[in-house]
Every structure is written in structure tokens, then in C-alpha cells.
Amino acid sequence: MKSVAEIRDNNLCCSCGICKNVCPVNAIKYIRENGMFVSEISDACVSCGKCYKVCPSVQHSYEKNNLHQAMTGNLKFAINAWSKDSDIRHFSASGGVITTIVEYLLLHDYYDYVFSVDTYNYHSQVKTNKYDKHSYNLNDISTQKYTKSRYIPVSHENLVDFILNNHDSRVIIIATSCAVRGILNVIDKFKLNRNNYLLLGLFCDQVYNYNCWEYYSDMLFDNYGDISEFNFKNKDSGGWPGNMKFYFSDGKCVFKNKSERVKIKDYFKPERCVYCVDKLNVFADISLDDNYTDQNSSSLGSNSVIIRTNLGEKIFKLISETIDYERIDVDKICVAQYFDGRKKNYEFSLLKNSELNDNFQLNSVMDYGHNSNAASEYKTVLRNLHYGEIYPLNRKKLIKQIQKSGRKTNQLKRIFRALLRRLRNES
């Protein structure tokens, strides 16, 4: 019987934590390896296969075999929205819709708990924790405790442990695409009541691995002291989409331009992200994230929101008075969220499957016109990931590579600006 040990050995673990507490003999723990917290199986394993059956990294299939339709998913309707609460909107990464939904549903007793992240310290494994209407306290919103995504692999092991032992509890779950798939696997395999769980799915443009903590400490703040926490996106220095904000052990705060998070993304991310096509979180009840369809809408930002299920539609009707919103065609969201990048991911998943002799199904087989350049691009992607996986052992190599990449990007920007000037002059 297969186990998640094979997932880890093939560099496919997404650090979601879903498998740990389904193990009947507690044979799974997480260890840090190549910038990730990955599953390690002890000799206590009884080869029951439960961990493998709930793993979201494999056995991933879509109802529709057309790639574009699969990436869009089932939906009721789509909106652009933002919280009517100005504080929530300001301190959120974008429009504050998730925070508004959670606050309303907890305070009005529609749900008992939410599992949310309450730390910005990426030195150790980040996990979700349980909160109710008394502990999920937004009175001191300035703490920004719950109001931002972490852009890092988050473990849901505490959530899985809770729902397996508290079947009647009504729980709000906030998760990326891979975690949503894993949680649904748990609900299905253990025959839990699906109606007890509201799945708020984050759009996911791939996450960073934990080595980014050391990178930022080394490269940006060699003379500042120790970083205690940081926000990937903070609006205090210019509004949405936000710059990076670093907190130090001596109480100081420093902002860095958002370009500092963009330029390292090809190096510090899990390999499993390279094969994921589910950017819009198609299996959630409601999926949402930053609105890029109208980037000039507000310095505070807003959310693109897709209502996908009957439960999602019910929740929207309940909370609709707490948000401002406008209907939007989902295709506009698809364009704004750069679907072409996920088409490349599908190509890469086929190449990975062939390397593994089809031992794992990373995505279901879908109709798609193949890209002849995918193989060479794939090699480049894996090479860049290797630089980030073994950081900080290869500081000099990685710095050189990022600088080289930055020069290419700046050159392309200059060429693009020159073309625009020429077009304007000709017109």
C-alpha cells in the first residue's frame, strides 16, 4: 500500500499537514527539508494507506476534461467586492471579504469555529488554530492578527484532528487549493457531514517555501538585527497591492518594495506548485483573492469572488449587506489571474508524470494543445527551484542568478516601453 513517504521522496509534498492526524498509529511527523516541512514516516507505520488516500498532491481529477473549463470550475456567479468596514479593508491584504464573512458568521452563530493562522513568524512551521466568536477578536484590528494571507505552506493538522474528533461542530475553513482538496478527501474518506464545513478557498499563485526567511535575513537586513516577523503584503506604505513589511526583535519596522517578493518567486517555492493548475480553487464553496480586473479601483484594494456551490450562495445572501460588490464575468477574472501560466503547469505535470512512469496522477488527462518548448522551460524551472531548495548553502550562486534574472526583466521592460513610445508616435 502506498504512503506519503513516496510523495515526499518524489518532491511532491505540499506541506499541507492533512495526512498527519489521519494516521491511526501516529506514525507521521513533519521535518524541515529543503525549505519545506515534509512528512516523515516512522517504523510504527502499518501500511494502511490512509495518509496516501487523503493526500492532495495525487489523485487529482476534474469533472471537466477541457483544461480551461477545469481551471474555471463550477460556479454560480462572480463578483468584485470589498468590506464596508474601512478598518478591516485597510488592514486586509486586499478587500477584506474573508474577514468580513468570518466575523459575521461567527457573531451570528451560523458557525461555531474558524481555523485561521495567527502568526507571521516563518522561522518555524506555520499552522492554523481554532477560534470561536469570543477568541476571534477584531476589536483590536490594528494587530493584523488574522487579516492577511501568509503566502507560505500552512499546516492544517490541527483542523484535521479537530474535525475527526468533533463531528457535529460547524467549522469555517480558509485554505489554498491543495489544502481544500485534502480536506475534502478527509471529509469523504471518514464520512463526515459536508454541510458542517464552509470552505473559503484562496486563489493561489504558488506559495513561497520557508527558506525565504533566511534569504531576506541575509540579503536585505544584514545590518538590522534579527527579523521577528514579516508581512508579504502590507498597505501602510502605499496601499494595495502592498509592499513588504519586516518587524525586528528590537521593535523596529522596515518596508521593502513589492519587487523584493516578486523577483525570488521562481526560486523559493515548493516543486508541487509547478504542477498545479487549480489557481482559482475550484473545489471551494466560495473562492476569492485580490481583484486584478481593475487595478485602479482603490488604493485599499478589493476582492474577486467566485460563488461556486449552493452553500456558497446561501452564505453570500447572509453576508451581502456587509460588503459592497458588483457582478463580473468570470472570464475577466481568468484573464486577470494569468491563466496561461497554469497551462504551462499542466505541461510540466505531464513531464513529471513521464519521469515517474505514471506512478502518480498529478492532474487528470485533459484536452490541450501541447507546447513544444515545455521541456526546456521545465528544466529551467527545476534548476531555479534547486537554487532555492539548498539555500543558504549556495548564497553566491543564488544571488548571481537572481541578479541575472533581474537584468533580463529590466531589459524586457525597457524594450516594451520603447515599443509603446514608437506606437504612440506613429499614431
Per-residue pLDDT tens digits for 26-63: 999 999 999 999 999 999 999 999 999 999 998 666 76
Domain ranges of the chain: 59-393
pTM as predicted: 0.89
Instruction: For residue 27, count other CB atoms closer than 10 A to its CB.
Output: 20
Say if strands 303-307 and 286-290 run parallel, antiparallel, or are unpaired.
antiparallel
Cβ neighbours around 122 below 10 Å, total: 23
Element (H, E) at 129: strand 129-131
Q: Are 342 and 279 in contact (CB under 8 A)?
A: yes
Residue 411, pLDDT score: 46
Q: How far apart are CA 25 and CA 257, in angstroms?
A: 47
Mean pLDDT, residues 202-223:
85
Minimum mean pLDDT among 77-86, 180-189, 330-339, 416-425: which range?
Answer: 416-425
pLDDT digits (tens, 9 = 90+) for 125-165: 999 999 998 887 766 544 556 656 788 899 999 999 999 99
Question: Are 80 and 302 spatial neighbours (Cβ–Cβ below 8 Å)?
Answer: yes
In sequence order, what are the beta bridge partners of 155? 127
pLDDT, tens only, 397-413: 777 777 776 554 454 44
Strand partners, 32: 37
